[in-house]
A and B are shown apart, each in its own frame.
Chain A
Amino acid sequence: MLKLNASFIDHWITTFDLQAVRDILLESLAVLGFLFLSVALIIALAKAPILLRHGSLEILFFVIFGFISSCMNVFDEFAWLGPYSYWKLAKDLILLGGAVLLVIGFSRFFWFSSRLFGTKCENKSDKLAQSE
């Protein structure tokens, strides 16, 4: 642990000027955003458990990945990291992984919803209904 500390964290930041406090507050906004999204997702799952079953796991992992990435963002305001480029790359890659999962999640949710309502494509079914 001490070795990791010595190699990874150059030193802890203990004094904060106005600029540093502003940065910490701004970076914390993303953490709050992901917390809000997780609460919204839990409420959505409680309200429509069947509909959100497909795709909700991917959206949940987007929230988890995003939360980790934004916490890393806040953490580096408190510690002076040795290999900062790798740290920044890791943060971005985690968020990118989350974004890919979000695409899959949304696609699965809408695909399943349309199947549940018996319409493969709503436009076609609407046209059929109109012609009848």
Chain B
Amino acid sequence: MMNLAAETWQIKEGDEITFAVEVTLFLGFIIITILLGFLRKRYPQLTKNGWIELVIGSMFLSLKGLFDGLDTVSSSISEHDIFDSFEAVFIFVGLVLLGVGLLRIALFSAKVWEVR
């Protein structure tokens, strides 16, 4: 049990592994964001279009993991509902941004390929 921001957070019995996986999910999407940063540095031309959508999208997906973890350890139902709503909105916006980014990268790559 821990006290944070005057709230009591507790990992319920049997939820330890679930919470660990949710935190891993949060860290996993952070790693994707960092990896995208490296790719930007390495391939500035290829990542000119669509990269920013991919980065913001993966950040939103990592926030989904964070709120997923928070709703597992939240103590009250009202908190659980708020975190659940955040999680749903962040995953939706994150996925839409990922799709738009992917499309823009593909269209840009096709254009570069035609020019070459």
Contact = CB atoms under 8 A, between A and B. Distances in A.
The answer on A and B forming one complex is yes
Interface of A: 19, 23, 26-27, 29-30, 32-34, 36-37, 39-41, 43-45, 47-48, 50-52, 59, 66, 70, 85, 88-89, 92-93, 95-96, 99-100, 102-103, 106-107, 110, 113-114, 116-117, 119, 121-123, 126
A89 B17 contact: yes
Chain B interface helix/strand/loop/mixed: helix
A96 B24 contact: yes
Contacts, number: 129
Contacts of A100: 28
Q: Which of B42, B85, B107 has the most CB of A within 10 A?
A: B42
13 contacts: A19-B81, A37-B95, A37-B102, A51-B106, A89-B17, A92-B21, A92-B22, A96-B24, A96-B25, A102-B32, A117-B46, A117-B116, A119-B43
Interface string B91-103: 1101110111011
A48 B110 contact: yes
B15 interface: yes
Nearest to A35: B95
Contacts of A93: 21
A36 B55 CA distance: 18
Contacts of A23: 84
Contacts of B109: 48, 51-52, 113
Contacts of B68: 92
B18 interface: yes
A95 B109 CA distance: 28
Contact of A26 (B35, B85, B100): B85
Contacts of A123: 41-42, 44
B99 A85 contact: no
Contacts of B54: 106
Contacts of B95: 30, 33-34, 36-37, 66
Nearest to A66: B95
A48 B113 contact: yes
Determine which residue in B25, B99, B103 has the highest number of CB atoms from chain A within 10 A of its CB, and name it: B99
Nearest to A70: B91
B46 A96 contact: no
